[in-house]
Structure 1
Amino acid sequence: MSSTVPTGTSRFEVFAEPGSYRVVRPTNAEGVIDLINRHGVQIVDLKFTDLPGLWQHFSITLPEVSESLFQNGIGFDGSSIRGFQEIHESDMLLVPDATTAFVDPVCATPTVAIICDVVDPVTHEPYSRDPRYIAKKAERYLRETGLATTCYFGPEVEFFIFDSIRFGQDAHSGYYFVDSSEGEWNTGSDEGAYGGGNLGYQMRYKEGYFPVPPHDTLQDIRSEIVLMLQSIGVQVEVHHHEVATGGQNEIDMRFSTLTRMADNVMLYKYICKNVARKHGKVATFMPKPLFADNASGMHCHQSLWQEERNLFYDASGWALTSDVCRWYIGGLLHHAGALMAFCAPSTNSYKRLVPGYEAPVNLAMSQRNRSAAARIPMYSDSPSARRVEFRCPDPSANAYLAFAAMLMAGLDGIEQKLDPGEPLDRNIYDLPPEEAAAVRQVPASLDAALAALESDHAFLCKGGVFTDDVITTWLEYKRKREIDAVKLRPHPWEFHLYFDV
């Protein structure tokens, strides 16, 4: 919840949840300047997101901070940013969003960080390839449809913390090595999780959910991440070790509105990576870094609200869901092939999306059932808790684009009243072959997902949310920079399979 500070200080907004930190965020430029003064800040850091989804930044000194910065922006070279401008049109502007300002807990020098929007300096319009702008347009389009006023997202972002990582490839070699003192593969090593010899508390494969310490060596690191996130206004509900051996984790943030939640995902990744580094470890959101164990997903809980009413709830409906909810699910399932181009956007994503590792490859809906792509959580029968959990996305996604795409698919499902099919409340992996053959599955590769996006993206372009330019740029970037790059390189396992042919 949020509330405005009493009279005379409306330049701030208080973000607080029961039992949580009370965090004050600015609402305008004056509030940011006050925040700088109150905390003895010396540097202001401007952050924005490139098209693939990695945070970029540069820092400015205090004399450069004025109200005009928040109106006119500050220039940067857009041609040096992935997925942005060509060299002949490189000048771009960053315009800070005052409501995102926070004292950056990562920096030793007192620093305020602000998330920025990207603006074209010629047209003075928001930049069409700015992921945050696309998310904002999706929320605006939702309101314009009259179907709902708000879309809430609650992603479950999983990640690994390793003790070390090495990788490389050249003309005559290619390798990767990851290590974790928790890893099952270290049961025979001389050094254990605490040094001074192996104490034998490594987690067995697929048994990381939920042993206590000493098996779980990352409890305090996760707690530190949680407290740091809450100190900057990101509310967290729970944290725990995840299924895989070797340091898989999950920290669940409290749901929020679409763009704000995407901002929070960026903050989450930033804090996780930097806290891990502080402890001499490394955090990765790569979906499938380990062979033969569970991968990292980003299950996305979502619901539509009309003011204070949850449109996904119906006391008499299947699993307490409304027609609107089921049509929304119909849109997610119908457009799932295209969605995967944004929700599972790496070649590594499709090492996760295979049967047998709790991977949601089956395009069906269910209640409680984690083998279905769309699940209705049944922990509570409260109207406010009714939501759909779309389980296909993973944390390599650009959250701004993935959330916007899912909303647009769901809205198209409502508009067309798309039937999601009969619920499958059984383990879909154990269906008889004739029944299993009737269940559609997600694309088996990034190649296939991009082909699906190429043929099915009209739903994304409604209301100008995604543009043809964004779709074309995404397809070209992924094909040339990622798919072709992987295709060109020999895989280590190919030597095992083919060296003696």
Structure 2
Amino acid sequence: MTSDNVATDGGLSVEAQNVLDEIDEKNVDFLRLQFTDILGTVKNVSVPADQAEKAFTEGIYFDGSSIEGFVRIQESDMRLMPDPRTFAVLPWRDRESGASARMICDVYDTSTGEPFEGDPRYVLKQALERAHEMGYTVNAAPEPEFFLFEEDDEGRATTKTGDHGGYFDLAPKDLASDVRRDIIYGLEEMGFEIEASHHEVARGQHEINFEYDDALTTADNVGTFRTVVRAIAAQHDLHATFMPKPIPKINGSGMHTHISLFTEDGDNAFHDGADEFDLSETAKQFLGGILEHAPAITAVTNPTVNSYKRLVPGYEAPVYVAWSDRNRSALIRKPAARIPAASRIEARFPDPSCNPYLAFAALIHAGLDGIEKGIEAPDPIRENIYEFDEEKREEYGIETLPENLGGAIDALEDDPVIYDALGEHVGPKFVEAKRQEHTEYLVDVSQWELDRYLETF
């Protein structure tokens, strides 16, 4: 196995050597080598900082059989190869006695020396390679929302909020503004460029937006973002959750995702100033591909039982397979763009419980399929689809997303484009895990059922 961290002369690459220098300069004593499992949970192997050079040249072994969806016990040895471009010092550690830093890793199969097909980061890289072969690079920008809840006397999460703020409210109603400020400082220390932050619609709900970047860096950043938000919230004795719908009958948390393609010349392939919507034919075909494959994509972008408690009409989460340049009831929106480079589409249905690598891969493969097949986007819907009755939706040809996780998994298995996009390893493992999750939910008895039926029947 030849590491990208090793230069042609046998020494370390410039990026890897820069990391070693920074480790010395910033008094880093431990490195967290991070990766994600198929479900999107961030894992890490912690090593002393003096193992960094070995990590770059040889990799660090770990037991893959203990990771959800990775490998069987008899083929458990895996290897982590850190990406030096992802080096960042963790902002919540006391640095007087030594700092900790993290690097995001690619997972390699020790038996072949090749990238492990079950690594979600590898799955996204394959999607980006397909885009590259078609002459494109992919940029993405997510808007992950989250709730901040109080903890009880034993440090366990509750669903009590410490504020009564609403959309874009300021203190004193938004009592968590100081927490958001500290989170932003922490993110900026780790290299994030923050665009904006605000209180969201629901009590205790927040959003912090960071800059557009290439899709791989953005997927890395989503995992880092969730980690930083949770860690700094905990310092304030709060619990941060990216659960899509933690409180019934109020707005849930989404992760609206902006996407655009750029050509090899650096031009935005989605922009056409002569078009009514400033969208090129390429953009409309990409958009058409996402709409075509939306039911299957949902299994990946909205991967939990709880995700479908958010995807119901009336709470701003889109459930209707359509697009619009004006309203937010459609699945995909065309945001206004001040300059050609900013032309993009916004997929509004993903939520922050998703594995960002798999979610971006599914969206990208769907869009590229639309380009390859010349799938035409339907006409945009400029009316509020939530106000349509079933007859009017049928008149406009508007379908709905799956109503539950089981239906989404059915759609995924029936859609070879999206299922195959996950790869021969991840696809079956992902479906197996999600089928089990949905089955466990179906056989459980909720508190709602007990309250409604226990004393009635």
SS in 1 for 2:175: coil
Q: Residues of 2 paired with 1:177 and 1:273: CA distance?
A: 14
Equivalent in 104, 122, 127 of residue 138 of structure 1: 127
Is the CA contact (8 Å cut-off) linking 2:412 and 2:418 kept in structure 1? no
Point out where structure 1 has 5 or more consecutive residues left out of the alignment.
1-10, 13-25, 168-175, 183-201
Q: Residues of 1 paired with 2:415 and 2:316: CA distance?
A: 27
Query: What residue number does 1:83 align with?
Result: 69
Equivalent in 381, 389, 399 of residue 356 of structure 2: 399
In the alignment, is residue 446 of structure 1 matched against residue 427 of structure 2? Answer: no
Q: Percent identity?
A: 40
Equivalent in 39, 47, 56 of residue 43 of structure 2: 56
Q: Residues of 2 paired with 1:432 and 1:42: CA distance?
A: 61
Q: Letter of the aligned partner of 2:425 in structure 1?
A: D
1:223: Cα distance to partner? 1.4
Is the CA contact (8 Å cut-off) linking 2:121 and 2:357 kept in structure 1? yes
User: Residues 367-413 of structure 1: CA distance to partner in whole angstroms, max 9, x if unpaired?
Assistant: 021000010012x3421121100101000000011011100000001
In the alignment, is residue 431 of structure 1 matched against residue 401 of structure 2? Answer: no
**CA gap 1:65/1:381 in 2 versus in 1, 3 angstroms:** closer
1:127: Cα distance to partner? 0.6
1:59: Cα distance to partner? 1.2
Query: What residue number does 1:474 align with?
Result: 430
Name which of structure 1's ranges 43-52 and 117-126 shifts more when overlaid on structure 2. 43-52
Equivalent in 302, 319, 331 of residue 361 of structure 1: 319
1:415: Cα distance to partner? 0.9
In the alignment, is residue 317 of structure 1 matched against residue 275 of structure 2? Answer: yes
**CA gap 1:467/1:325 in 2 versus in 1, 3 angstroms:** same
1:436: Cα distance to partner? 1.8
SS in 1 for 2:400: coil
Query: What residue number does 1:373 align with?
Result: 331
User: Residues 314-347 of structure 1: CA distance to partner in whole angstroms, max 9, x if unpaired?
Assistant: 1121311111111111011100011011100000
Q: Letter of the aligned partner of 2:57 in structure 1?
A: Q
User: Residues 439-469 of structure 1: CA distance to partner in whole angstroms, max 9, x if unpaired?
Assistant: 11111111011001101033553xxx53122
Query: What residue number does 1:416 align with?
Result: 373
Query: What residue number does 1:485 align with?
Result: 440
Q: Letter of the aligned partner of 1:456 in structure 2?
A: D
1:69: Cα distance to partner? 2.1
Residue pairs, 1:250-399, within 5 angstroms: 250-306=207-263, 307-378=265-336, 380-399=337-356
Q: Letter of the aligned partner of 1:124 in structure 2?
A: G
1:296: Cα distance to partner? 0.2
Q: Residues of 1 paired with 2:48 and 2:338: CA distance?
A: 52
Query: What residue number does 1:237 align with?
Result: 195
**CA gap 1:179/1:459 in 2 versus in 1, 3 angstroms:** closer
Query: What residue number does 1:95 align with?
Result: 81
User: Residues 237-280 of structure 1: CA distance to partner in whole angstroms, max 9, x if unpaired?
Assistant: 000000002x1000001011111000110111011001100000
Q: Residues of 2 paired with 1:476 and 1:166: CA distance?
A: 38
Which aligned segments of 4 or more residues in structure 1 are displaced greater than 4 angstroms?
none
Query: What residue number does 1:39 align with?
Result: 26
Relative to the length of structure 1, the TM-score reads 0.84
SS in 2 for 1:58: strand
Query: What residue number does 1:18 align with?
Result: none
Q: CA RMSD in A?
A: 2.0
SS in 2 for 1:178: coil
Is the CA contact (8 Å cut-off) linking 2:162 and 2:176 kept in structure 1? no
Q: Residues of 2 paired with 1:425 and 1:165: CA distance?
A: 46
Q: Residues of 2 paired with 1:163 and 1:469: CA distance?
A: 39
Q: Residues of 2 paired with 1:292 and 1:458: CA distance?
A: 35
Is the CA contact (8 Å cut-off) linking 2:301 and 2:350 kept in structure 1? yes
Q: Residues of 1 paired with 2:57 and 2:130: CA distance?
A: 24
Q: Residues of 2 paired with 1:457 and 1:34: CA distance?
A: 47
